[in-house]
Amino acid sequence: MDASLIQTIAVYAVPVIFAITLHEAAHGYAAYRLGDNTAYMLGRVSLNPLRHIDPIGTIVMPLLLYFITNGSFVFGYARPVPVLFRNLRNPRWGSLGVAAAGPLCNFMQAFAWVLLSMILFAFGIHEPFFIRMALAGIGVNIVMGVLNLFPLPPLDGGRVLVALLPVRLGYALSRIERYGFFIVLLLVWSGIMTRFWLAPLYDFCSSILLSLFTPLAAFFSNT
């Protein structure tokens, strides 16, 4: 294992673990607040990464794809939080809230990493490792939030769309879920997902964070 790969893993490890852990915990917490305590009873409303990491999807698959493609294509997943949607007080709109909680949590984390980078600069901390980690935290969370909003089950955006569509259309879309993972994997591998979904929305979210960066930078420079 070369030094550059070790450095990359060290920079991305904390942001990725937080992104995955808080994303899944947010689903479980939203379900708990909206009437289903399944995830809570199984200990999945937790900040312990070990409760959310899937050995194959979170570790083996991304590393394998990284080596096979020389870092040009990486994909993975965490253990889904179990939710019994029929237990929600309002199954239709509750499922929307549960699904949206994960990506929303990632966007909030991206903002938190922006804030952390501002704090580092304010205290005169210019250590490249920490700066790279903060930038990685911003990027990882934007990508994870945007990817999960893709409107195809089992991704969160697909479940949001199922809740918003008329019942018959929503049911028809939900039936794709068993094939959804393979469709998404194909779209990512082919570059279609990146070109028409990830890249445009990543740029949009980045521009929003950049618009917040200037006043935050001014604030911390005056403190």
Catalytic residue from among 24, 83, 107, 205: 24
Residue in 72, 73, 45, 78 with CA at minimum distance from that of residue 59? 78
Residue in 164, 116, 151 with CA at minimum distance from that of residue 137? 116
Cα angle: 66, vertex 71, 76; to 5 degrees? 45
Distance of CA 160 to the CA centre of its chain: 15
Cα angle: 33, vertex 34, 37; to 5 degrees? 70
DSSP string for residues in 107-168 = HHHHHHHHHHHHHHHHTT---HHHHHHHHHHHHHHHHHHHHHTSSSTTSHHHHHHHHHS-HH
Active site residue 127: no
Tell me which residues are annotated as active site: 24
